[in-house]
Every structure is written in C-alpha cells, then in structure tokens.
Amino acid sequence: MIKKFFVTGTDTNIGKSTISGILLKKASNFGYVTAGYKPISSGAKKYKDITFKTNEKKYEFINEDSYILKKSSSIYLTYKEINPISFVESAPPNILSLINKRKIKKEHLSLGLKKISLKSNWILIEGAGGWYTPISNKYTFSDWVQEEKLTVILVVGIKLGCINHAILTEKSILSDNLICSGWIANNVFPENKYTSYYIQTLLSYIKSPLLGIVPYLKNINNIDVNKIKIKLPE
C-alpha cells in the first residue's frame, strides 16, 4: 500500500520543506521507499550544480524547497519529476500562471503524482504557502488535495499569529472532509518565554495529534534526524 501525505502550513516560510525533509529521512529509516513531490514552486535561484545534469556542469534555476525534497528522497528522481511546474519569481501560483501565460491544471499535478507512485511507497507532497493557496482563479491547492483524497500534515510555525492561523487551517482541513494525521510545531525562531505557552494553547484547540516539536535549527543543511523527535504520520 502506498502512503501519500500532503504537507501544508499556517503560512509561507514556516519550514514546510525542512520538516518534509526530516520526515522523508525518518520514513526511509523505517524501510519505506520515499519520494518528495513539489508539484508547484515559486522562487528560484541560479545554481551551478552537477546533481541535476549528470556529468554536465550547467547553471540551473533551482527552487530550494524542491532541492531539499530531492536530496531527502531515498530514490533517485529527476528535478523535473519532483517539481514539474516551477516559476522563477516569488508570488502566488495563480498570479505567476497568469503573468507567464502558463496554465496550471489539476490533472498535471495528478499525473506527476501518479508517475512517482510507480517508484515509491511513501510519498510526501509539499504544497505552496497555506491551505487555500490558489493555483488558478478557479481552484486552490486544497481542491486538488480533496480530489486525490490525501491525508494532511499541518506544519505550524511557532510565532506571533500562529495560534489563529493553526486553528483556522485545521478547521478548514476537517471541513473539507479530509484526515489531518497530525501537526508539527516548528520553532522558526529561537525559543523565548512564550514558546511553551503557544504550544500548550495549540494543544487545547487543535484536535489532531501533535507529531512532534522541532527546535530552532540554525543550519538546515546539516540536520541529524535521529535527534529530531517527530512521529511518522499514520
């Protein structure tokens, strides 16, 4: 049986990719054949890297989130397989789609997922932004997640405003008749005297189980996943 999880967050820039990378590596340690999938990305940097062009040094525009998913997957996947739809600019997908005259269709997202499903049995799909991020002027990411009947993981960036965002996001996921397998508290800033109060408050309001608390990570490129206490979602 193939396990498929969709990772959403309370906001943009709250560590969805970092958490996704950790989960992929933990699942691999449990014996799963893992694969990350970022169907749509926005924001890319120019890198000179041979990992995306075998034996060919070439400048490439690479999305950092997709790169994390690629290097965290236990199987080899091309960059295009992991991130089939990408934009260089940083903006909502529906706006970039309109500006660049590149129509985003839900079936394109599903096709990419189907291809990856043939190669792995534990797939982590990372969204863009929050739960209702538009992918066109008619559909949001959540509409596609509903069609695919994916189980959702909620990443909560612990910061001012996260309580309201987390409560609203979970309510939306559940109201869309989807399963939220759990939430992860990610300390995007160094912990302060309010941190534990944030988490205790969230525990009082969020119905889904807490899968783990991730400490503030200074260097996301050198993480010992064995030291990060996160339960794998079911």
Strands 45-48 and 180-186: unpaired
Classify residue 215: in a domain, yes or no. yes
Whether 52 has a pLDDT exceeding 60, the answer reads no
Q: What is the pLDDT of residue 53?
A: 52
64 is in an annotated binding site: no
Classify residue 129: in a domain, yes or no. yes
Query: What are the φ/ψ torsions at residue 130 (nearest 5 degrees)?
Result: -100, -170
123: helix, coil or strand? strand
Taking the C-alpha atoms of residue 38 and residue 84, their distance in angstroms, rounded to an integer, is: 8
Whether 58 has a pLDDT exceeding 90, the answer reads no
14 is in an annotated binding site: yes
Amino acid at 134: P
Domain count, the chain: 1
Q: Over pLDDT 90: what percentage of the chain?
A: 85
Whether 113 has a pLDDT exceeding 60, the answer reads yes
- How does the average pLDDT of the chain come out, rounded? 92
Question: Per-residue pLDDT averaged across 41-62, rounded?
Answer: 69
Structure tokens at 1: 């049986």
Least confident window among 48-57, 65-74, 194-203: 48-57
Whether 194 has a pLDDT exceeding 70, the answer reads yes
Classify residue 233: in a domain, yes or no. no
Question: Per-residue pLDDT averaged across 106-130, rounded?
Answer: 96
Question: Per-residue pLDDT averaged across 116-122, rounded?
Answer: 97
Residues forming the active site: 38
42 is in an annotated binding site: yes
Whether 34 has a pLDDT exceeding 90, the answer reads yes
Classify residue 94: in a domain, yes or no. yes
Most confident of 45-49, 141-145, 215-219: 141-145
136 is in an annotated binding site: no
Q: What is the pLDDT of residue 59?
A: 59
Residue 227 DSSP code: G
109 is in an annotated binding site: no
Range of the domain at 76: 3-227
Q: Over pLDDT 70: what percentage of the chain?
A: 95
Taking the C-alpha atoms of residue 86 and residue 63, their distance in angstroms, rounded to an integer, is: 8
Classify residue 143: in a domain, yes or no. yes
Whether 19 has a pLDDT exceeding 70, the answer reads yes
Question: Per-residue pLDDT averaged across 132-148, rounded?
Answer: 96
pTM: 0.93
Classify residue 141: in a domain, yes or no. yes
The strand ranges marked E within 16-88 are: 34-37, 40-42, 45-48, 59-62, 85-87
65 is in an annotated binding site: yes
Classify residue 234: in a domain, yes or no. no
CATH number at residue 217: 3.40.50.300
Taking the C-alpha atoms of residue 123 and residue 38, their distance in angstroms, rounded to an integer, is: 11
Classify residue 161: in a domain, yes or no. yes
- In this prediction, residue 88 has a pLDDT band, given cuts at 50, 70 and 90, of very high
Q: Are 181 and 151 in contact (CB under 8 A)?
A: yes
Q: What is the pLDDT of residue 54?
A: 47
